[in-house]
Amino acid sequence: MDRAAIHPDDEGRAQRLTRVPFHLYQNPALVVREQQLLFEGPVWNYLCIDGDIPNPGDWRTTYVGRMPVVVVRTESGGIAAFENRCLHRGALICFDNAGNARDFTCVYHAWRYDLSGNLKSIAFRKGVNGRGGMPDSFRPEDHTIRKLRIATISGIVFGTLSNQTPAIEDYIGPEIAAALTRTAGRRLQVIGRFTEVLPNNWKLYAENVRDTYHASLLHVFFATFRIARLSQGGGVAVSPNGGSHVSTTLAPVSEVDDSYAGMRSVDDGLRLSHPGLLDFQDEHGDGIRQQILSVFPSFAMQRTYNVMAIRQFLPRGVDRTDLNWIYLGYADDPPALRRRRLKQLNLAGPAGFVSMEDGCIGNFVERGAAAAPNGVSLLEMGGAGTESQETRATETAIRGFWQMWRRLMQE
């Protein structure tokens, strides 16, 4: 289209999605604003999987952005989540990663809460020997911890602090919901956990999981062993609000390829000493070798061959991110498939053959743009919109992320 024919309003909207100023990754003040407007706003934050808390009293700690949260199975079998902060002086209520309890007691002054986060009792509320204590007008029921609304889709538990957040299925859109259900449609089981510290702003990693353009360029293992090349089939689906996506890479058209003999690359002669690492079972019947799915703001789910993993990325400052890797299997995995999953965990994670470069590339951007706050990131691969595309040579999902980020942040 002739640029002269583009309406100025349309060109302005395109500029906001295809030109991202580097100061949006560098400004410390945005850490506070993002917590208030974004993580605590009308979004769905990943909390845990249903199988993490199977029994009444089972609990797990996590975060919504920088806000500590307890997720717990209640006596009735439901799921509750609330801020991990005592109403008295603000201390953490739960310190460990997980456990089982009949109720929760703050270690500092022994204020006690039930499994739904309701304040039930206060140590020495009436004082001692008629002296001290809380005033007679104090009513525990008038003081409440911040609680989250809960949504569960295919055994994955999300929470929100906003009453304005749409239903989870509407929030992520039908294509992403279908892909999530296909992957997580059976009972999930955690088979491993790691936390990786990334030396970069969290938004750089949020972009990275949506960046289908870089996979076979940055990750040499991907291209060398034909796991994900842009020439293979697949594409990118983006939710209507832009915030969620799913990208897929299909198996090569023909497995009869000289490059597969001994798992050898025709390009550079690289060879696997254990070719069985890339044995593949098409357990979902869809021919997908690599799939990355995201839910705004900080959730991604990966399938690479028979590896399944959730990635939860959380801001720890303007230039630090905690990336939690949660490796998954199905509870009914046959032993041979479980062994294959455990072996293929070497593909993904902090030192994974197909993901280790992601641990440093965000910092390369941080360092490269350190003196260019008014410079911009250029995001025009595949156009200027956020529509789904039948190619992975596009940045449409990254533009979708920025569309939702700008709307929530009122930027």
Tell me: the pLDDT tens digits for 192-217?
999 999 999 999 999 999 998 887 77
How is 364-395 classified by DSSP, letter by letter?
HHHHHTTT-TT-EEE--TT-SS---BS-SS--
Domain ranges of the chain: 45-150, 170-409
Q: Would you tell me how many other CB atoms lie within 10 Å of the CB of residue 261?
A: 11
**Domain 45-150 matches domain 170-409 at the CATH topology level:** no
Q: What is the pLDDT of residue 9?
A: 56
Looking at 286-357, list the stretches that DSSP marks H as alpha helix, in order from N- to C-terminal side. Answer: 335-344
Q: What is the pLDDT of residue 351?
A: 86
Q: What is the pLDDT of residue 10?
A: 58
Q: Which of 133, 140, 148 is nearest to 44 (CA)?
A: 148
Q: How many CA atoms lie within 13 A of 228 on its CB side?
A: 32
**Tens digit of each residue's pLDDT (9 = 90 or more) over 226-258:** 776 666 778 999 999 999 999 988 876 554 444
How far from the centroid of its chain's Cα atoms is residue 394's Cα? Answer: 21
Q: Which helix (H) or strand (E) holds 207?
A: helix 202-210
**Tens digit of each residue's pLDDT (9 = 90 or more) over 100-136:** 999 999 999 999 999 999 999 999 999 999 899 999 9
Q: Would you tell me how many other CB atoms lie within 10 Å of the CB of residue 201?
A: 26
Distance CA 410, CA 343 (A): 45
Distance CA 59, CA 81 (A): 9
Q: Which of 208, 231, 259 is nearest to 395 (CA)?
A: 208
- Name the stretches of the chain with pLDDT < 70: 1-11, 228-231, 252-269
* Reported CATH class of domain 170-409: alpha beta
* Reported CATH class of domain 45-150: mainly beta
Q: What is the pLDDT of residue 253?
A: 53
Amino acid of residue 400: G
Q: Which of 283, 337, 302 is nearest to 219 (CA)?
A: 302
Q: What is the pLDDT of residue 34?
A: 98
Q: Torsion angle of alpha carbons 46, 49, 55, 59, nearest 10°? A: -40
Q: What is the pLDDT of residue 4?
A: 44
3-class DSSP string for 148-193: CEEEEECCEEEEECCCCCCCHHHHHCHHHHHHHHHHHCCCEEEEEE
Partner residues linked to 121 by β-bridges: 112
Q: Would you tell me how many other CB atoms lie within 10 Å of the CB of residue 321?
A: 22
Distance CA 350, CA 323 (A): 9
Q: What is the pTM of this model?
A: 0.91
Spatial contact of 368 and 206, defined as CB atoms under 8 Å apart: no
CA-based R_g, the chain, Å: 23
Spatial contact of 69 and 47, defined as CB atoms under 8 Å apart: yes
3-state SS, residue 206: helix
